[in-house]
Chain A
Amino acid sequence: MKRAKVKVYLGILTDMAKVMVSMPAELLAEVDAEARRTGSNRSAVLRGFAADAIQRRRSRRAEGIREILDGLPDLDLAGRGGEVAEEVKAHRPQP
Chain B
Amino acid sequence: MSTLLLDSSVVLAAIKPDDRHHESSAALLADGSTVLATLDLARYEVTNVAVRAWSAPAAVAPLLRILDRIGADGGVVESSARLIAHAAELAGDHTISVYDAAYVAAAAEAGCGLVSCDVRDLVSKGLAELPGAVA
Q: Is chain B a partner of chain A in the same complex?
A: yes
Seen from chain A, the residues whose Cβ lies within 8 Å of a Cβ on chain B are 51, 54-55, 57-66, 68-69, 72-73, 75-81, 83-92
Seen from chain B, the residues whose Cβ lies within 8 Å of a Cβ on chain A are 1, 7-9, 12-21, 26, 29-36, 45, 48-49, 52-56, 58-59, 62, 65-66, 69-70, 72-73, 97, 99, 116-121
Point out the residues of chain B lying under 8 angstroms from A87, CB to CB. Answer: 12, 49, 53-54
Point out the residues of chain B lying under 8 angstroms from A68, CB to CB. Answer: 62, 65-66, 69
Find out whether the CB atom of A58 lies under 8 angstroms from the CB atom of B35: yes
A61-B69, A68-B65 known; A84-B19 Cβ under 8 A: yes
Find out whether the CB atom of A77 lies under 8 angstroms from the CB atom of B15: yes
Out of A55, A77, A85, which one reaches B116, CB within 8 Å?
A85
Q: When chains A and B are docked, how far (Å) is the Cα of A66 from the Cα of B52?
A: 26
A77-B16, A88-B45 known; A69-B30 Cβ under 8 A: yes
Find out whether the CB atom of B53 lies under 8 angstroms from the CB atom of A80: yes
Find out whether the CB atom of A81 lies under 8 angstroms from the CB atom of B33: no
